[in-house]
Amino acid sequence: MYSTENKKIHYFYNGIFYTRSINEFVNDILFQKIYGGEGLLKKILKISKNSNISFSSSMVNENSIKPWIKSGWTINHKLNVCVLNLRNSNHRYPSDNKHIEIKKLENKDIEYLLELDHKIFEDYWKNSKSSLEETMKSCNNNYLFKSGGENNLDGYAILGETRKFTYLQRIGIVKSSQGSGLGNNLLNCVINFAVEKKFINMKLNTQSDNIAALNLYKKNKFEISPRKLVIMKTS
């Protein structure tokens, strides 16, 4: 009922929500609340306990978690929001574009991107086909940055854009190449592209305990927003 590959909508008397599997590597079920308060959250917690199902929420503003805590949910992950102001920026970041291909993200890219994605991220954060498709639908335009040769990709980034505001949906380098400077080069390439397109700003989320990523973003002029996000969990 809840462990489906694609999002499924549910209508309860006390709320409306989506569910789907997080990915094939973890057993957690994504819970995305559309409408509902403590009554719905307590109901989902009860389902979790009775059915031995672990629900993980979509991202929630940290200032809005009181009903979740009162309903028995716990904080699973904390996320920082990082923002880079690009308005009127002509600054060029040093980058080597020779081995980075930039293109519009298309459905035909999904299969090989998933294979690459699964070499980069820890199990909970790995993309599924559905989550990647949802990423593509979340912005008007999505740009793919591929690092390395066509048959030897070592990283990628996805930049989503809507009305000149951008969101760095994904960025990562395979574990064997992390710490080599490829991540910084890829990020600089994305930023330079955004500057050339005269985009207004760039936002991203990263785990609060991912110190290496936070240092990389701060090094490249991102500011850490006071706004925090969390992912809640039933158990």
Q: Which two tokens stand for residue 19?
A: 């569910």
Helix (H, G, I), strand (E, B) or coil at 69: helix
Q: H helices within 93-181, ranges in order?
A: 110-117, 129-137
CB proximity list for 119: less than 8 A, separation 6 or greater: 174, 175
DSSP summary character for residue 25: S
pLDDT in tens, 136-150: 999 999 999 999 877
Structural domains in the chain, sorted by start: 8-78 (no CATH), 88-199 (3.40.630.30)
- Is the overall model pTM greater than 0.85, yes or no? yes
Q: Which two tokens stand for residue 133?
A: 């498709």
Q: How far is CA 28 from the centre of its chain?
A: 16
Alpha-carbon distance 172 to 158, whole Å?
10
Q: What does the pLDDT look like over 36-72, one tens digit per residue?
A: 999 999 999 999 999 999 999 999 999 999 999 999 9
Instruction: Give the pLDDT confidence of 82-115 residue by residue, as tens digits.
Output: 999 998 777 666 666 668 999 999 999 999 999 9
Q: Which residues 6+ apart lie within 8 Å of 39 measured at CB?
A: 14, 15
